[in-house]
Structure 1
Amino acid sequence: MSQRISFESSQEIGAFVRMTNMYALVAATDNTNFVSAFEEVLNIPVIQTTINGIRMAGTQTVGNSKGLLVSSSTTDQELQHLRNSLPNYIRVRRIEERLNALGNIIVCNDNSALVHPDVSSETVDMITDVLGVDVFKYALAENGLVGSYAAMNNTAMLVSSKTSAEEVAELSDLLNVRVVPGTVNKGSDVIGSGLVINDFACFVGSKTTSTEIVVIDGLFKTAPNAVLGDDEKRAWIDALQI
């Protein structure tokens, strides 16, 4: 079941967290309750960090089980901290992209990525190389901020309630996942800011209603307090290295 959480006074938790099946980045904070909420559920590294001195670890990064891309504003010290803290098999790269809020313009899982239509060809190549995914330029409900208005794991995708039935069908075929329109945080269409998801756990902003959670849990089907155990983790690593 999805867990409600807030970062200090903000329900926009996706701005401060990047969560994959193999690691989670969270905003550097003295709030031990926020960090421990992830550590208690996830049997993966939970790394506190800043990007360019700010705490929006979700907005400024994008990643999956194979790699992590960080915005060009990431300092050398922050980049080294991430490389030292992440598992060795995670590729970490700093990316030069005019639209540098990567978490707002890219949404991905371990197989596919949607990106803002205006990203450069160099960025598309970098995403393909580092994250090991097929990349599709797409405007979701006529909005290029696909990372803001959608969230996905390897089986499903929640998109803005403004997404048309035609787009839902198209995305499902394109990405080979279940796609459902919905909201978070009591009617917000900014899905990526109000929800963080991997294949085993889901966290939502504290204003998310019970009705919204029913939709989210029914879509993603994450088990209550799901944990990626050592055997499962080794299986994921072996699969990624094939």
Structure 2
Amino acid sequence: MRTNPSFALDQVDEVRRLIRENPWVSLISHTDAGELVASHYPVILDPAAADGEIVLLSHVGRPDEQLHELGAHELLVIVQGPHGYISPGWYDARPAVPTWNFVTAHLHGTPEILSDAENLRVLAALVDHFEDRLPAPRRMNGTVENAEYAARIVAGTVGFRLRVTRFTAKNKMSQNKPADTVERILAELDGDGPYASPSLAAQMRRAHASSPDQRKSDQAASGRQAAE
């Protein structure tokens, strides 16, 4: 991912928030056979992780653990947050090109394979994480029948814990645009047009509220570049 200091997201807490709000991720491996393997699974954060750490819990369905050679080498996990098209018509009359606003993180680490008992606990935690929002949550171990069924299907999955050893994250939310342009973009994203996206508008507001000094610096730099 191309780096840009204006859009860098390097706060661990913000990356953890991104994962919590966008738990459907891509798992990518470069195997010893020289192949690229990609799969897609939900993840949760390990509640036992220390402050400043990012530790993921998840599982794969067999035979994905073999395809990925899970545990034998580093895994790349891609987390994608709100994103969307930004039209130059939302700027002003000056010549401009379209862009795409987005927030994403690339997480690296070598997975630790879990025992069947640990895997079962992680699967139950995954279910609880998503069921908690429902008015009548269905727990994996909520009844004897559910627990017995879960115990049977656990053999078809392989659980893992991934301690993130490094990450690169980017939060590109028009931080290099003047305040009036940002407001026009937000109005379009909040509207009812073909590229409206309330979730992207919310992410933009969070990005601009968290770094007003950086935004002023970026706008000044943008103005200097336009004048050159």
Question: TM class by shorter-chain length?
Answer: under 0.3
Which protein is richer in helix relative to its size? Answer: 2
Max Rg structure: 2
